[in-house]
């Protein structure tokens, strides 16, 4: 019985093989597997961190107002170049001018009151000295002397109050003068006006904070890019690294350097990013505040290194196994079959990796990166008993007949 089963299996195998070759000889489609390979060679890799950011002035100043009133005149507009101390706006000063005049008048009145008290005090002191002399000769009553002393003391106290009132009035006059000066808005820096928030005739009201009138960029010949770098990449970013970036407005590539890595993180949709500040020259002032910059920070570079495609590290041929631990690639052997080789890789540019050790031995070898599409051999097998389409197998000798 056992011999019979073995014989049956051998006959079945022989029959299957005969059928395969028979079908192949008849032109049956047989898929042929082929590997896609790439020759290992040397090259240079640059690893970079990409992100997006917004162009902004390195320093910008918001010019506001601390007083209320209608805008009489505007002496600056969008893109106006202004200098430090230049008048750029004027608020109606009528109310503040009246307040200043009133404060000055009150100050003069209080100063006159001080002078009046001083005159009275001088007279009272003379009277006191005279009564003191007469009291020694017992020519004046003691009560008269006491009244003279009280008068001097009272006038001295009144003088102190009057002098304090003068100081208060002087402060009020100074405040009124300052408010009057605030009606004339001056530029605090040299720069370019990039924002104007009011119009002539508009009434501005300053409450808890100064109302913004203008935003002035100090110098647009040098700008900064505020980029948001994900937490997975921010560890590779260092100060003074070279940065290249582009904007949609130009085809030019601009260069800059990393100047600051801020710790103030932002979380958006569970993605944590950190602001990275990049400074760059803008001599022609082509870059405008608010433009979106696509940045690339150069974090590492490998020159004349052995490089392998990233797809080779991800591919494993079907039906093949290896005992190699860690990262490996499959090289095409002389027999056309892949063999596994362990590798240690370094930096990557996203499409290739640089081999850190033992790369020279891999030069010129073909590494497997994937499978090519299966091919079919010869023509399709035809069944003679199946009905044929009209004109099947015949060349078309002309247009179809008209109906």
pLDDT of residue 320: 87
In the structure, what pLDDT confidence band is assigned to residue 26 with cuts at 50, 70 and 90?
A: very low
Q: Which CATH number describes the domain made up of 32-44+304-373?
A: 2.40.420.20
Question: Which residues contact residue 190 at a Cβ distance below 8 angstroms, ignoring those fewer than 6 apart?
Answer: 82, 83, 84, 218, 219
pLDDT of residue 32: 45
Distance of CA 158 to the CA centre of its chain: 65
CB distance 368 to 338 below 8 Å: yes
The answer to whether residue 35 scores a pLDDT higher than 50 is yes
Average pLDDT on 261-282 reads: 95
In the structure, what pLDDT confidence band is assigned to residue 34 with cuts at 50, 70 and 90?
A: confident
Give the fold, CATH level 3, of 61-92+183-218. Answer: OB fold (Dihydrolipoamide Acetyltransferase, E2P) (2.40.50)
Please indicate whether residue 207 or residue 298 has the higher confidence score (pLDDT).
Answer: 298
pLDDT of residue 135: 85
In the structure, what pLDDT confidence band is assigned to residue 104 with cuts at 50, 70 and 90?
A: very high
Dihedral angle at the C-alpha atoms of 283, 285, 290, 293, nearest 10 degrees? -50
Residue-wise pLDDT tens digits, 191-246: 999 999 999 999 998 777 778 999 999 989 999 999 999 999 999 999 999 999 99
In the structure, what pLDDT confidence band is assigned to residue 322 with cuts at 50, 70 and 90?
A: confident
Distance of CA 329 to the CA centre of its chain: 39
Rounded distance between C-alpha atoms, residue 66 and residue 271, angstroms: 41
- Report the top-level CATH class of 50-58+219-301: mainly beta
């Amino acid at each position: 019985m056992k011999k019979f089963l073995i014989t049956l299996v051998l006959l079945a195998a022989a029959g299957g093989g005969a059928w395969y070759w028979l079908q192949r000889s008849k032109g049956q489609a047989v898929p042929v597997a082929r590997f896609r390979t790439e020759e290992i060679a040397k090259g240079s890799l640059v690893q970079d961190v990409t992100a997006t950011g917004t162009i902004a002035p390195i320093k910008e100043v918001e010019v506001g107002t601390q007083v209320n009133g209608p805008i009489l005149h505007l002496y600056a507009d969008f893109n106006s170049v202004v200098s430090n101390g230049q008048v750029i706006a004027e608020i109606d000063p009528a109310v503040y001018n009246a307040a200043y005049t009133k404060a000055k008048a009150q100050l003069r009145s209080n100063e006159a009151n001080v002078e009046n008290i001083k005159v009275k005090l001088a007279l009272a002191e003379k009277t006191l000295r005279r009564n003191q002399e007469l009291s020694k000769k017992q020519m004046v009553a003691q009560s008269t002397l006491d009244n003279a002393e009280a008068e001097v003391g009272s006038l001295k106290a009144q003088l102190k109050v009057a002098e304090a009132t003068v100081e208060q009035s002087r402060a009020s006059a100074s405040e009124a003068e300052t408010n009057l000066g605030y009606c004339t808005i001056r530029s605090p820096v040299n720069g370019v006006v990039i924002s104007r928030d009011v119009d002539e005739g508009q009434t501005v009201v300053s409450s808890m904070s100064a109302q913004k009138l203008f935003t002035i960029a100090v110098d647009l010949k040098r700008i900064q890019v505020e980029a948001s770098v994900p937490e997975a990449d921010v560890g590779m970013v260092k100060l003074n690294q070279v940065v290249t970036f582009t904007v949609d407005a130009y085809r030019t590539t601009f260069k800059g350097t990393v100047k600051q890595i801020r710790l103030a993180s932002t979380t958006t949709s569970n993605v944590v990013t950190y602001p990275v500040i990049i400074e760059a020259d803008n001599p022609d002032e082509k870059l405008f505040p608010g433009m979106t910059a696509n940045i690339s920070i150069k974090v590492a570079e490998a020159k004349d290194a052995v490089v392998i495609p990233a797809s080779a590290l991800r591919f494993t041929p079907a039906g093949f196994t290896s005992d190699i631990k860690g990262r490996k690639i499959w090289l095409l052997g002389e027999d056309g079959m892949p063999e596994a080789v362990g590798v240690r890789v370094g930096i990557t540019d996203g499409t290739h990796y640089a081999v850190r050790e033992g790369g020279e031995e891999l030069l010129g070898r073909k590494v497997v990166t994937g499978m090519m599409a299966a091919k079919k051999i010869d023509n399709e097998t035809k069944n003679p008993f199946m009905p044929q389409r009209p004109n099947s197998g015949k060349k078309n000798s002309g247009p179809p007949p008209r109906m």
